[in-house]
Amino acid sequence: MSIRAPKGTSDILPGSVEAWQYIEGIYRETAALFGFDEIRIPTFEYTELFSRGIGDSTDVVEKQMYTFEDFGGRSLTLRPEGTAGVVRAYLEKKLYAGVIPSKYWYDLSCFRYENTQAGRYREFHQFGAEVIASHDMLADMEVIWLADTFLRKVGVSQLSLRINSIGCPKCRPAYREALRAFLAPKYDELCDTCKGRYDRNPLRILDCKSPIDQELVKGAPLMIDYLCDECKDDFAALKANLADVGVAYEVDPMIVRGLDYYTKTAFEFVSERIGAQGTVCGGGRYDHLMLEIGGEDIPGVGYGLGKERLLLEIAASGGDLPGTRERTAQLVFVDAAQKAPALKVLSELREAGIEADIDTSARSMKAQFKHADRTGARFCIVVGGDEVATGTVTLKDMVSGEQQRIDRKDAAAKIKGCPSEG
C-alpha cells in the first residue's frame, strides 16, 4: 500500500501499547495521590490562544504550529502544548469561582511541525500538571514534587532536576539589556534564528541548540544575578521547599524554557542518556499568561512531560516495561457440534472475570491450538463430545503440556488457582 502514516507520527501497536498503558496508569494514580484532578481539553483551539499565550516570537508559534482554516473561515490550530488550553478552559468556565488553588493533571497529544529525529516528533504525547491561582512557591514545589515522584515510580531516578528563576517583568528588562550588551560584539556569529531573537527576546538565545551559539553564550550575564527582591525571595523559598520534601535539584542558570509565558520558576528534568532530546520534562511558572490571553490576572505553574522521551529513557536505563499482554485461557471446540456448549463455557469464564478468548475464525481444532500458542494463552479449555456428555471440560496447561478432565463448574476456580507463568 502506498499510503503511509504522516512523517513524525507513530502507530502505537499491541506489544508497545502495554508500556504506554503502564506509565499512564502510574501517572493517573500518582497525580490523584497528590490531589490533582484530571482535565481534558479540545485537540484544537482558536489560533489566537497560542499566538497570544505562547508568544509570537517563539519557535513554536513562528514555525511549528499546524494551523488551518475551517469551512467557516476561522483560524484553528492543533494544540502544540497543554497549558494554554487548560488556562483557557479555567478562565472561560470560571473555575476560579470554585476551589482555589486548583490542581489539574492531563494526558494529551501535541502537534508541532518539527525536524523529526529520535525523541522529536510531529505528533507527540505529554503528561502535564498545573496548579492555578497560587502565588506561593508551595505550588511550584507541588508540581515538581509530583513529576519527581512519578519519575521515580516508573523507575527513572537518574534524571537531574535543574531549576532556575527567569525573573519577572520588574527585573527582566535590565537583564535583557545586559545580555544584549554582552552579545552585541558576537552578533555576526550568531545563527540566523538567534539574530532574530537578539532584538525580540534575547533570553531565548541561551536556549539555542546550535553548538556555535552555545559556545558564544558562555560567560554571559545570568538572570539569577539580576533578580528583584521578590523573585530572589521566591527562588530561595522554592529551594527550601524542595529540600524540605527531599527532592534533589541543581541550580542551572542557563535554563530559560521555550515558551514566552514563563516567569520566576523554570525547571527541567534532564537525561544524560538520550542525547540532544534529553529534556524529559519541562515547566515553570506563568504569572501573566492569563492576563495575556485576555482573562483575569491569575498566576499558575505547571509542566509538560514527554511520554515518548520518558519511554526512551526507561528503555535506555534498562528499566522494565511490560510487553505483550499475557492471555489466560482459550476455548477450543472439537467440532461444530460443540460450538454452542463451548461458547457457554466461554461466557461463564468471562463472567467469572477470567480473560478468555476463542479463535473467531472457527477453524479446525488443530488450528485453534495453534492460535492459542501464538496468542500466548496459558490454558486451553477443550470442549468435545465426551466433555459435553459428562458436564466436564479438558484443561490443558500450555506451559507444561499436562491436561486433565475437570468438572465444567470447577473450571473458573481451577484456572484462578493456578499461579501465572511470569
Binding residues (CB under 6 A) for ligand ATP: these are 81, 112, 114, 119-121, 124, 126, 258-259, 277, 279-282, 304, 306, 308-309
Q: Is the peptide bond before 322 cis (omega within 30 degrees of 0)?
A: no
Question: Closest CB to ligand ATP among 141 and 312?
Answer: 312
**What is the residue type of 268?**
E
| Structural contact between residues 157 and 276, judged by C-beta atoms closer than 8 angstroms | no
Minimal distance in Å, beta carbon 259 to ligand ATP? 6
The candidate with the shortest Cα–Cα distance to 330, out of 393, 400, 417, 422, is: 393
Give me the count of residues in the chain: 422
Residue 241 contact among ligand ATP, Mg ion, none, beta carbon within 5 to 8 Å by kind: none
Minimal distance in Å, beta carbon 82 to ligand ATP? 9
Q: What separation in angstroms does the CA of 329 have from each of 236, 378, 416?
A: 58, 6, 11
Residue 107 contact among ligand ATP, Mg ion, none, beta carbon within 5 to 8 Å by kind: none
Other beta carbons within 10 Å of 332: 25
Cβ-proximal residue to ligand ATP, closest one? 306
Task: Select from 77-85, 157-165, 252-260, 366-374 the region that touches Mg ion (CB under 5 A).
Answer: 252-260
Minimal distance in Å, beta carbon 303 to Mg ion? 14
Rounded CA separation 215/238 (Å):
30
Cβ-proximal residue to Mg ion, closest one? 258
- Which residues partner with 266 through β-bridges? 164, 284
Residue 81 contact among Mg ion, ligand ATP, none, beta carbon within 5 to 8 Å by kind: ligand ATP
Minimal distance in Å, beta carbon 59 to ligand ATP? 7
Question: Closest CB to Mg ion among 268 and 287?
Answer: 268
Question: Closest CB to Mg ion among 235 and 267?
Answer: 267
Phi and psi at 245, nearest 5°, equal -100, 10
Minimal distance in Å, beta carbon 204 to Mg ion? 11
Q: Show Cβ contacts of residue 316 under 8 Å, excluding neighbours closer than 6 positions.
A: 271, 273, 274
Other beta carbons within 10 Å of 164: 25
Question: Closest CB to ligand ATP among 309 and 408?
Answer: 309
What are the cell numbers at 257? 524554557
Question: Closest CB to Mg ion among 8 and 258?
Answer: 258
Question: Closest CB to ligand ATP among 307 and 396?
Answer: 307
Sign of the CA dihedral running 142, 144, 150, 153: negative
Residues in contact with Mg ion by the rule CB under 5 A: 258
